[in-house]
Amino acid sequence: MSVLFPEEAKAAIECLLFVAVKPLSIAELTELVGLPADDVQELLVQLGQEYNRNKHGFHLTRVGNGYRLCTRPEYYPYVEKLNKSGPTGLSAAALETLAIIAYKQPITRGEIELIRGVKVDRLLTNLMERGLIKEVGRKEVPGRPILYGTTEQFLWHFGLRDLAELPELEE
């Protein structure tokens, strides 16, 4: 591929964001368009501004360490009309379990159960299948129980940039 002019590079990035099935990181975009990271960053900023200035129906958002296009919340009623059934949210039990893992990772199943006071084995399987948590190792105690942590997908699901964005727990 030949060297891209800035305008072309911007269009190339836009096109990649359009087809991407997951948020794209600066590193990934850098490799894909063959420009230094600073330039990619600058072009992303420009794209974001253009979408805002021209009041497009979608905008550029950052989740985890990636960027992606998504619809503007104010037009959600129209999206809802198109997609009769939106995605259902996670259950209260799933959210509680995720909250504990997010704040206390790496954490074992037993430790989660101690806090919640209920069994969570089926929930953990479910959250693993949804890609929201993953096994991150084993605790070096008898029985070497599995340690769990949250994934990049967890950040995407809740629109978080990183775990530091979670509010402090009340003391």
Partner 1 sequence: MSYRVKLDAFEGPLDLLLHLIEKEEIDIYDIPIAHITQQYLQYLATMQELDLEVTSDFLVMAATLLEIKARWLLPSPPASGGEENVPPADPREELVERLLEYKRYKEAAEYLRQREEQMRHCVPRPVTDILVADGLNQMPQLQVSLPELIKALRDVLARMNQSEEAMELEREKITVAQKMGEILDQIAINRRGLAFSEFFSPRASKLEVVVTFLALLELIRRRRVVVRQGQLFGPIMVYPV
The HSE-up count of residue 128 (CA atoms within 13 Å, CB side) is 13
Look-up: residue for tokens 């979670």? 166
CA distance 135 to 150: 9
DSSP string of 5-53, one letter each residue: PHHHHHHHHHHHHHH-SS-EEHHHHHHHHT--HHHHHHHHHHHHHHHHH
Query: Which member of 30, 116, 136, 139 binds partner 1 (CB under 8 A)?
Result: 116
Contact stretch for partner 1 (CB under 8 A) within 1-9, 25-33, 47-55, 84-92? 84-92
Q: Which residues pair with 69 in a beta bridge?
A: 60
**Residues in contact with partner 1, total (CB under 8 A)?**
44
Site string for partner 1, 131-150 (x = CB under 8 A): xx------------------
Establish if 157 lies at the interface with partner 1 (CB under 8 A).
yes
Identify residues 2-21 at the interface with partner 1 (CB under 8 A): 18, 21
Residues in contact with partner 1 by CB under 8 A are: 18, 21-22, 61, 68-73, 76, 79, 86-87, 89-90, 92-93, 95-96, 98-100, 102-103, 115-119, 128-132, 153, 157-160, 166-167, 169-170
